[in-house]
Structure 1
Amino acid sequence: MAAYLLGVLLFALGIAVTIALHELGHLLTARAFGMRVRRYFIGFGPKVWSIRKGQTEYGLNAVPLGGFCDIAGMTAQDEVTPEEAPHAMVNKPWWQRVIVLLGGVFMNVVVGFMILYLVAVFSGIPNPYADTTPKVGKTLCVSDQISQTEVADCSGVGPAGDAGVLPGDRILTLDGEELATFTELRDTVLGMPGETVTLTVDREGQIRDIDIQVAAVERLNPQGEMVAAGAIGLSNAPVVDAIKQFGPLEAVPATARFTGQTLDATVDALFAMPAKIPGVVASIFGAERDMEGPMSVVGASRVGGELVERSLWSMFFMMLASLNFFLALFNIVPLPPLDGGHIAVVLYEKIRDFFRRLRGLPAGGPADYTKLMPITMAVAALMLGLGSVIIVADVVNPIRLFG
């Protein structure tokens, strides 16, 4: 229990440090371009502690679930003193403003990369060079699911085995579409009960097409409901060198490659998040929690506790790296009040002024942020509402990696 609590506290601390470093990215880039940083605070709510150094006040607030870097003149509606005006962000070139707004994103990507690099050198990361092409381990019979952990008894080699698929076959395509992983094959077949699919397999260098009738079985969905699903009865052969430790030099390109793969997966997760919210709501009322669904800082810290409890430190740090990547990519979504929303406004000003010049008109000046307030408030309210729902789910029905 002590190890679990230590893990929870350490991951919560890691989240706070991640946020602090994100804001530090804004601070450092703003200072580099001569912008005035008024305040650099971690947390929201009442002030707990602060100290002033030069023109900047540094401090901690009571609720450590965020942070902010207050740059003078971030928008035209931000009042600045005559002394601040030369250092106001709004009076700086557009490209400097964009770099400052991307400073936090860049910092999180660098931090995530460094965490993964250290894991690659001292423990091992999922091998980014491993061949993940689906390879058949066994052909299996298929049957209905009868509980969260059990399926009904069955016999035989299943639809794939009956059609001629053999252990050791490398599956290249499904209905002509290339497959990167076995999970992609499984997820596609799940949505095709009763249909006929064609697998293109490589069997010891010989390429052949095999037609398979997908069996219709019952499976539990993330909401805990029995639904019709497809199954062909295949298990994946273990990936060779799935986890690999690298030397200090070779770890650099390997980490870079794995970072790219992780960022791609994070983008996919961001696009999939809205569709997973109903499942999170259902889990509050007793439905099974989707292991790949969104988590709050509460849920992530609890998972961190489970990992430390079992001394799975490499997974702990890889999850912390993934959090940095998520924060980076989430912040460039082009909606206010996120960094991406501010960047969109700066780019709008640049494009608008380009067309004004073509018409012989002067630059239009900074955008009026008051016109964006309804969108800003709506997005902020939506984020607060979704965050609250996910926190409740993480309290009453948390994701558990180990049961």
Structure 2
Amino acid sequence: MLAYIIGVVLFALGICVSVALHEAGHMLTAKAFGMKVRRYFVGFGPTVFSWRRGETEYGLKWIPLGGFCDIAGMTALDEVTPDEAPRAMWRFKTWKRTVVMSAGSITHFILGFVVLYLMAVTMGLPNLGPVDTSPVLASTSCARPATTEAQAQDTSCPPGAPRPAEAAGLRAGDKVLSVGGKPVATWTEMLAAVQATSGPTAFRVQRGGQTLDLTVDVPKVQRWTSAGVKEVGMIGASPQRPAMTTQYGPVAAVGATFSFTGTMFAETAQRLVEFPERIPAVVSAIFGGERDPNTPVSVVGASRIGGEAVEQGVWVLFFFLLASLNFFIGVFNLLPLLPLDGGHIAVVWYERVRDWIRGLRGKAAGGPVDYTKLSGITMVLVLIGGAVTLLTVTADIVNPIRLQ
């Protein structure tokens, strides 16, 4: 239990640090361009302590959930003092405002990349997705019928059950090259070839530096599959599983991390597309339905999974989740929806394109976008976001996703 609590605290702390650095990204880029940053605080609620350095107040709030960076004149509606007016953010060039607004997400991407790189050179990067293993035997067992899913998961061997692979001389570590004269390159191909045959069948295997020809007497047995019970050939053998992670040297880890990051961006984009259709499953889970492990999780749920990972000693999963969350927050925050940073970027570029079109027509540039006209849409999006957050937090409390 202590390890679980430590894991939860560490993961929650990692998230808080990520969000604090997100706001620091806004602050540093704003200062670099000459914008005035009034305040930079970590957390929300009452102030624990603060100090002023130069023109900026720094501090810590009691609720360690996020933070904020107060930049003078982020929109034309923000009140600014006469001395702040020349440095109001909305007066700066479009590309500078875009850099400042996107700096938070870029910070998340950098953090995710750094975490993955450190994983690559220490504990290794996870091997994602289904990996079709090489047709190498890990062990031999028996060929027995199984007409239910529970029986198919049972790996025990009843007395007298035939052991075709063992009887033919196949051993752990043997790599199957062909079955019945048909070459096989993966375990799936070998399995399909075995299931389609019966009786004495020629197997060509590689054992060390030798190539051996063996004959396996393949029996037909009744086996449960997702498509129903079928009669298939079976030799009684299991595959060598690929390593859970792959470790790299300091140089090779750079390319591997970039490649892995690209895969994670693709996965994150897919998750965002599927996000709305998974909400009903979250509601179902709250009212007693089985929790789908692919449903969205809140910070609470992610922290609980992180705690379980530490409790079980699976640090690879802990850091992988932390990197994944950084990528998700970074991508999500760039969606062109107010009040997200992506929404503000969309408004900035709308102004830029609008003024360019007006210039082509011989007209003067228009004024800044009136955010009051967007307040209705913004409020709806805030309410939807709040509702989704409440649903996921509730589900993560009453019916959380757990590690197997």
Q: CA offsets per residue over residues 250-293 of structure 1, 9 Å max, x none?
A: 11111111111111111111111111111111111111111121
Q: Distance in 1 between matches of 2:149 and 2:366?
A: 63
Aligned pairs (5 A) from 1:7-156? 7-126=7-126, 132=131
Matched, 1:5 2:5: yes
Larger mean CA deviation between 288-297 and 237-246 belongs to 237-246
Structure 1 residue 132: Cα displacement: 4.3
Q: CA offsets per residue over residues 66-115 of structure 1, 9 Å max, x none?
A: 22111110000001111111221101000000000110011110011001
* Aligned residue-pair number: 336
Q: Distance in 2 between matches of 1:51 and 1:140?
A: 73
Structure 1 residue 314: Cα displacement: 2.2
1:299 to 283, 301, 310: 301
- The 3 A distance-change label for structure 1 pair 12 and 141 is farther
Structure 1 residue 241: Cα displacement: 5.3
Q: Distance in 2 between matches of 1:63 and 1:136?
A: 54
Matched, 1:381 2:383: yes
Give the counterpart letter for 1:75 in structure 2. Answer: T
Query: Which residue is 2:290 aligned to?
Result: 288
Give the counterpart letter for 2:267 in structure 1. Answer: A
- The 3 A distance-change label for structure 1 pair 169 and 21 is same
Structure 1 residues not aligned, in runs of 5+: 151-164, 173-203, 205-213, 219-231
- The 3 A distance-change label for structure 1 pair 85 and 280 is same
Q: Distance in 1 between matches of 2:99 and 2:238?
A: 45
Report if the CA contact (8 A) 2:136-2:187 is conserved. no
Q: Distance in 2 between matches of 1:124 and 1:262?
A: 16
Query: Which residue is 2:398 aligned to?
Result: 396
Report if the CA contact (8 A) 1:135-1:236 is conserved. no
Report if the CA contact (8 A) 2:126-2:316 is conserved. no
Q: Distance in 1 between matches of 2:266 and 2:41?
A: 31
Structure 2 residues not aligned, in runs of 5+: 138-142, 155-181, 190-204, 206-224
Query: Which residue is 1:196 aligned to?
Result: none
Q: Distance in 1 between matches of 2:313 and 2:187?
A: 35
Structure 1 residue 372: Cα displacement: 0.8
Structure 1 residue 333: Cα displacement: 0.7
Q: Distance in 2 between matches of 1:345 and 1:142?
A: 62
Q: Secondary structure at the match of 2:296?
A: coil
Larger mean CA deviation between 385-394 and 58-67 belongs to 58-67
- The 3 A distance-change label for structure 1 pair 238 and 80 is farther
- The 3 A distance-change label for structure 1 pair 92 and 288 is same
Q: Distance in 2 between matches of 1:113 and 1:385?
A: 31
Q: How well do the aligned residues superpose, as a CA RMSD in angstroms?
A: 3.4
Q: Secondary structure at the match of 1:104?
A: helix
Q: Distance in 2 between matches of 1:142 and 1:369?
A: 65
Report if the CA contact (8 A) 1:50-1:60 is conserved. yes
Kindly report structure 1 stretches of 4+ aligned residues shifted beyond 3 Å: 130-146, 165-172, 214-218, 235-242
Report if the CA contact (8 A) 1:279-1:290 is conserved. yes
Q: Distance in 2 between matches of 1:388 and 1:70?
A: 27
- The 3 A distance-change label for structure 1 pair 320 and 140 is farther
1:341 to 340, 343, 346: 343
Report if the CA contact (8 A) 2:135-2:186 is conserved. yes
Give the counterpart letter for 2:382 in structure 1. Answer: A
Report if the CA contact (8 A) 1:137-1:168 is conserved. no
Structure 1 residue 315: Cα displacement: 1.7
- The 3 A distance-change label for structure 1 pair 237 and 31 is farther
Q: Secondary structure at the match of 2:251?
A: coil
Percent of matched pairs sharing the same residue: 51
Query: Which residue is 1:321 aligned to?
Result: 323
Q: TM-score, normalised by structure 2?
A: 0.75
1:271 to 273, 289, 294: 273
Q: CA offsets per residue over residues 359-400 of structure 1, 9 Å max, x none?
A: 100111211111111111111111111101111111111111
Give the counterpart letter for 2:269 in structure 1. Answer: V
Q: Distance in 2 between matches of 1:236 and 1:166?
A: 19
Q: Distance in 1 between matches of 2:390 and 2:145?
A: 43
Structure 1 residue 50: Cα displacement: 2.0
Q: Distance in 2 between matches of 1:392 and 1:356?
A: 49
Structure 1 residue 131: Cα displacement: 9.8
Structure 1 residue 31: Cα displacement: 0.8
Structure 1 residue 141: Cα displacement: 8.9
Structure 1 residue 334: Cα displacement: 0.5
Aligned pairs (5 A) from 1:350-361? 350-361=352-363
1:365 to 364, 367, 389: 367
Q: Secondary structure at the match of 1:303?
A: helix
Q: Distance in 1 between matches of 2:238 and 2:363?
A: 64
Give the counterpart letter for 2:50 in structure 1. Answer: S
Give the counterpart letter for 2:265 in structure 1. Answer: L
- The 3 A distance-change label for structure 1 pair 290 and 88 is same
Report if the CA contact (8 A) 1:136-1:166 is conserved. no
Q: Distance in 2 between matches of 1:28 and 1:34?
A: 10
Q: Distance in 2 between matches of 1:79 and 1:236?
A: 70
Report if the CA contact (8 A) 2:283-2:391 is conserved. yes
Q: Secondary structure at the match of 1:67?
A: strand
Larger Rg: 2
Structure 1 residue 325: Cα displacement: 0.4
